[in-house]
A and B are shown apart, each in its own frame.
Chain A
Amino acid sequence: MLLIVAEHANGKLSKSSYEMTQAARDCGREGPLTLLVLGSNIAAVATQAALLGDQVLVADLPALAEYDPELWASAVAQIASEGEAHTVLIGGSRSGREYSPRVAVKLDAPLIEDAISLKNEGGALQAEHYTFLARVTERVEAAGPVVVVSIKPGAFSPAKPNDAAAEQYDVELNLPARRVTVTARITEKSERVALADADIVVSGGRGVGSAEGFVELVEGLADQLGAAVGVTRAVVDAGWRPYAEQVGQTGKTVQPKVYIAIGISGAVQHISGMGKSKVIVAINKDADAPIFKEADYGIVGDVRQIVPALMSELKNTH
């Protein structure tokens, strides 16, 4: 079977679950498409998952109320072994990429991380993924009875739900004890659209000048466009913005329809997180900034003049 570990949050199946389903449907491997839903009080999520696969396995347990890499890896490996899964798909979220290596080791399986394509080729699984800070595409092949793959968010289009719901089965699991005690959770909530899901991202770097400048220019433009806000590492290091908004090697990877980079010079670590955007717009006072090499459109000028001009242009001509 093809096993997909469904990702969900706040009682809803995440977009990544639909994307993994599409990856599984198209990869050319045979067997029942099985979604595994892990968590506590997840009946609603299981019902949504039932419209995607041939069957849904549900582990609705109090012990799974909060994510833990060892618990998740243990659960997934047990289900994969018992169901003789040949392909295990896990979301390329921070958590998915954290526990998927444990699953691979438990199953003595190869691991393909952050796959952007998947196809069956003579019994082996071939995939593409990025390397060298997303500057290189590598095609790899994994052979063997089972392969573990994490799927890059946004790389596959979301699957359309089936008309009829698949059967749901409760599963029993033998779970280890938690060894990492979580003493506090800091959820960085934003009123805005989530970075990963946004069609438009307005992002700012050191060139924005200050935390106040961020509110005025970056948030101002983002609000007008209904966009998510992104930032560079330098801005997080300066304490102007929270880490949750960071785009790049150590932050999030985004692939919006348009990425508007304000006062961002374009270090390779930042480019690795946004370089796959469909259209890139750069506004920077330095005509030699590397970001302009990555840009489709750009304005060389002072962001404190250009961004307000953009905002009034958008407002007046809407």
Chain B
Amino acid sequence: MRILTLIRQVLDAEESVRMKAGAVDLSSSKLVVDTMDEYGLEQALRFRDADATVEVVALAVGPTRCEEALRTALAIGADRAILVETETPLDVIATSNVVAQIAKLEAIDLIFCGGGQADWDSHALGAATAERLGWPQATWTSALSIEGNQLTGTHDVDTGKESFTMALPAVVTTQQGLNDPRYPTLPNIMKAKRKEMKKLPLDGFGVTAKLKVLSTEVQVKERKRKILDGKDAAAAAAQLVDLLRNEARVI
């Protein structure tokens, strides 16, 4: 079995968003593998731990800098990596086209994708990829096991949770709670340097962006920041209730 695990390089959540020339500028910010992708990579590695014939391929679609995120994925344990390079940003639907083409080329049986991506705020990549491949999907998975070609798991839906089964090939999107991702160890970091990293230019995929970004603006919501000292709990509570009733008029 061959598993494709999608890796998105995003801004570290602790970093602030910087702007330059009307666009988000990541050039001087700390970038990391999207946390949600780590759960998919970990799940793929667990399947490989249980079955040595499993191969885990990490894929990123994005600028050259994504190589760093793929190196991290290799250091965590992926067998090899593919980077489809594009300096022009692609939207999610266009990206799913690239992912689906790679999945076919690599004869992939199972794709892991983060439930959402912290740069796009999108939930669409897994489902769009599944549709292109004609595969079923389970999104926001919080438990997953495999037996033969049958996946069994639990995932979140509008009203709570559902337990499900589905057959491979399939797309699974991942989130917190699925597992505890492992960290790269020093020997694995050294080994990762010798692992295969295939780079492909986007040109060969015949994909163009479907959305045009017109403008980008960092949100600034001015907050009042009236912070009271709570040493005298009763007095602070009385003052807060008064502010909420008579100034903000929300209770």
**Distance from B39 Cβ to chain A, minimum over Cβ atoms (Å):** 10
Nearest A residue to B91 via CB reads A110
A residues 225-280 in Cβ contact with B at 8 Å? 225, 233, 236-237, 243-244, 249-250, 257-258, 267-269, 272, 275-276, 278-280
Question: Known contacts being A98-B123, A180-B166, is A112 close to B230, with CB within 8 Å?
Answer: no
| B interface, over-half SS | mixed
A282 to B223, CA, bound (A): 12
Which residues on the A side are within 8 Å of B164 (C-beta)? 180-183
Which residues on the B side are within 8 Å of A314 (C-beta)? 241, 251
Which of B42-50, B61-69, B232-240 is near enough to bind chain A?
Answer: B232-240
For B176, give its contact among A110, A182, A186, A233 (CB under 8 Å). A233
B226 contacts A180, CB within 8 Å? no
A80 to B213, CA, bound (A): 25
B234 contacts A97, CB within 8 Å? no
Which residues on the B side are within 8 Å of A225 (C-beta)? 251
For B241, give its contact among A9, A296, A313 (CB under 8 Å). A313
**B227 contacts A by Cβ under 8 Å:** yes
A129 contacts B161, CB within 8 Å? no
**B162 contacts A by Cβ under 8 Å:** yes
**A301 contacts B by Cβ under 8 Å:** yes
A113 to B123, CA, bound (A): 8
B165 contacts A132, CB within 8 Å? no
A105 contacts B157, CB within 8 Å? no
**Distance from A6 Cβ to chain B, minimum over Cβ atoms (Å):** 14
A105 contacts B177, CB within 8 Å? no
| Total A-B residue contacts, Cβ distance less than 8 Å | 271
**B211 contacts A by Cβ under 8 Å:** yes
A169 to B118, CA, bound (A): 41
Which residues on the A side are within 8 Å of B77 (C-beta)? none
**A111 contacts B by Cβ under 8 Å:** yes
**Distance from B247 Cβ to chain A, minimum over Cβ atoms (Å):** 9
**Distance from B94 Cβ to chain A, minimum over Cβ atoms (Å):** 9
Which residues on the A side are within 8 Å of B157 (C-beta)? 67, 94-95, 185
**Distance from B214 Cβ to chain A, minimum over Cβ atoms (Å):** 4
For B127, give its contact among A98, A250, A293 (CB under 8 Å). A98
Q: Report the count of interface residues on B (CB-CB < 8 A).
A: 79
**B212 contacts A by Cβ under 8 Å:** yes
**A171 contacts B by Cβ under 8 Å:** no
A133 contacts B219, CB within 8 Å? no
Nearest B residue to A225 via CB reads B251
For B243, give its contact among A182, A267, A297 (CB under 8 Å). A297
For A135, give its contact among B219, B223, B228, B231 (CB under 8 Å). B219
Nearest B residue to A104 via CB reads B93
Which of A55-63, A138-146, A156-164, A203-211 is near enough to bind chain B?
Answer: A138-146
**B87 contacts A by Cβ under 8 Å:** no
A297 to B164, CA, bound (A): 44
B127 contacts A301, CB within 8 Å? no
For B225, give its contact among A183, A236, A269, A293 (CB under 8 Å). A293
**Distance from A4 Cβ to chain B, minimum over Cβ atoms (Å):** 18
B128 contacts A294, CB within 8 Å? no
Which residues on the A side are within 8 Å of B84 (C-beta)? none
Which of A22-30, A38-46, A212-220, A302-310 is near enough to bind chain B?
Answer: A302-310
For A300, give its contact among B17, B132, B213, B228 (CB under 8 Å). B228
A184 contacts B163, CB within 8 Å? yes
B223 contacts A294, CB within 8 Å? yes
**A79 contacts B by Cβ under 8 Å:** no
**B218 contacts A by Cβ under 8 Å:** yes
Which residues on the B side are within 8 Å of A132 (C-beta)? 11, 17, 24, 118-119, 121
Question: Known contacts being A301-B236, A309-B236, is A275 close to B131, with CB within 8 Å?
Answer: no
A137 contacts B217, CB within 8 Å? yes
Q: List 10 A-B contacts (CB under 8 A).
A: A101-B93, A110-B91, A180-B137, A250-B175, A258-B248, A299-B240, A300-B229, A306-B230, A306-B233, A313-B238
What 19 new A-B contacts, CB under 8 Å, besides A188-B161, A250-B175, A296-B248?
A: A69-B137, A94-B158, A95-B157, A98-B137, A102-B130, A104-B128, A131-B24, A135-B17, A136-B24, A141-B212, A180-B138, A186-B162, A236-B177, A243-B142, A257-B250, A268-B14, A299-B236, A309-B234, A317-B241
Binding site for B on A (CB under 8 A): 9, 67, 69-70, 73, 93-95, 97-102, 104-106, 109-114, 126, 129-144, 179-188, 199-200, 225, 233, 236-237, 243-244, 249-250, 257-258, 267-269, 272, 275-276, 278-283, 287, 292-302, 305-306, 308-310, 312-314, 317
